[in-house]
């Protein structure tokens, strides 16, 4: 059913590393909980291994967004595309208003996102999705293991940084499984990991991810420096430290999620 593909046909520029093992793909498809009857957005379906696993797991509506002509055209021929259970959008996921697309094709919001993301666009897409919380529910996303560790890291961990603070301000992330290079065709150079990001319960999230992004970018931009030096690159941020009652001699990697939120609020309200 899926488009036949030889490893040589993968395009490096589009971050193409494909999974074909049905048992593994079934586990990935359901890593964020039962998908039966749900609207799911899949970014980068490629030859359709994960797409097939999602359809076979009983998704209600599948919206697949693929940039590569070969795959978009191939998927559009699947019976599920003809019946309307799957909608294939041929385009760049970075340029699509996914909430509008889901509504336009009759899907339900909030939608789940399940994706084996291309490495080069995975992080910017995640940050954008974290900032727009109203249209999406649980996200099941595959990244390089290193990126997955950065998303889930706690203070004082070497991987703790901007991505951990942003991800944990909008979701509860966890690593569901590690996948070695040999599972992919062609194999990437490093391990991959599936991260499940559940939305935080109402009232527990932070409402201004743009402010949080600005202060974390400055604070971790020079992570070995004390905050009073690192934050000089962001207008008003050193003064915000005092308002937030944070010791200016501390380093960014020691600040808790709550302290970063306080700092972001103080900076925003300056």
Q: Cβ–Cβ contacts within 10 Å for residue 18, how many?
A: 20
116 close to 160: Cβ distance less than 8 angstroms? no
Q: How many residues bind ligand SAM (CB under 6 A)?
A: 23
46 close to 72: Cβ distance less than 8 angstroms? no
Residue 122 engages ligand SAM in binding (rule: CB under 6 A): no
Taking CB atoms, the residue at the shortest distance from ligand SAM is: 44
Contacts of 132 (CB under 8 A, 6+ apart): 99
Residue 40 engages ligand SAM in binding (rule: CB under 6 A): no
Choose which of 75, 93, 151, 219 interacts with ligand SAM (CB under 6 A): 93
Choose which of 59, 62, 63, 67 interacts with ligand SAM (CB under 6 A): 67
Measured from the CB atom, the residue of 46 and 161 that comes closer to ligand SAM is 46
Choose which of 62, 64, 111, 116 interacts with ligand SAM (CB under 6 A): 116
Residue 71 engages ligand SAM in binding (rule: CB under 6 A): yes
| Contacts with ligand SAM, 124-153, as mask; x by CB under 6 A | ------------------------------
- The region of 44-52, 78-86, 207-215, 234-242 touching ligand SAM under the rule CB under 6 A is 44-52
Residue 24 engages ligand SAM in binding (rule: CB under 6 A): no
Question: Could you give phi then psi for residue 198, rounded to 5 degrees?
Answer: -85, 140
212 close to 169: Cβ distance less than 8 angstroms? yes
Using omega within 30 degrees of 0 as the cis cutoff, is the peptide bond preceding 186 cis?
yes
State both tokens at 160: 């703790």
Sign for the CA dihedral angle at 238, 240, 246, 251 comes to negative
The CB-of-252 to ligand SAM minimum distance in angstroms stands at 30
Residue 230 engages ligand SAM in binding (rule: CB under 6 A): no
Residue 116's DSSP bridge partners are 142
Give the separation between CA 142 and CA 108, rounded to whole angstroms: 23
DSSP state of 201: P
Q: What is the DSSP string of 36-57?
A: BT-EEEEE--TTSHHHHHHHHT
Choose which of 68, 80, 213, 259 interacts with ligand SAM (CB under 6 A): 68
Residue 87 engages ligand SAM in binding (rule: CB under 6 A): no
- The region of 37-45, 149-157, 167-175, 248-256 touching ligand SAM under the rule CB under 6 A is 37-45
List residues near ligand SAM by CB under 6 A.
14-19, 43-46, 49-50, 65-68, 71, 92-94, 116, 118, 121
């Amino acid at each position: 059913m899926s488009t036949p593909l030889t490893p040589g046909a993968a395009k490096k520029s589009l971050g193409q590393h494909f999974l074909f093992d049905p048992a593994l793909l079934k586990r990935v498809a359901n890593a964020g909980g039962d998908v039966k009857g749900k609207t799911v957005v899949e970014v980068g379906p490629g030859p359709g291994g994960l797409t097939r696993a999602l359809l076979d797991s009983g998704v209600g509506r599948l919206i697949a967004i693929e940039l590569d002509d070969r795959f978009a055209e191939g998927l559009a021929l699947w019976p599920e595309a003809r019946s309307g259970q799957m909608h294939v959008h041929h385009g760049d996921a970075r340029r699509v208003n996914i909430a509008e697309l889901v509504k336009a094709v009759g899907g339900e919001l909030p939608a789940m996102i399940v994706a084996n993301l291309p490495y080069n666009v995975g992080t910017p897409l995640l940050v954008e999705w974290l900032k727009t919380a109203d249209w999406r529910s649980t996200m099941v996303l595959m990244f390089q293991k290193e990126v997955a560790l950065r998303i889930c890291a706690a203070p004082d961990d070497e991987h703790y940084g901007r991505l951990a603070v942003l991800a944990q301000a909008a979701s509860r992330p966890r690593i569901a499984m590690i996948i070695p290079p040999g599972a992919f065709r062609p194999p990437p150079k490093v391990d991959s990991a599936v991260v499940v990001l559940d939305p935080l319960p109402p009232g527990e999230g932070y409402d201004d991810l743009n402010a949080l992004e600005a202060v974390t970018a400055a604070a971790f931009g020079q992570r070995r420096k004390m905050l009073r030096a690192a934050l000089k690159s962001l207008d008003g941020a050193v003064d915000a430290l005092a308002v937030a009652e944070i010791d200016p001699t501390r380093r960014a990697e020691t600040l808790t999620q709550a302290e970063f939120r306080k700092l972001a609020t103080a900076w925003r309200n300056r």
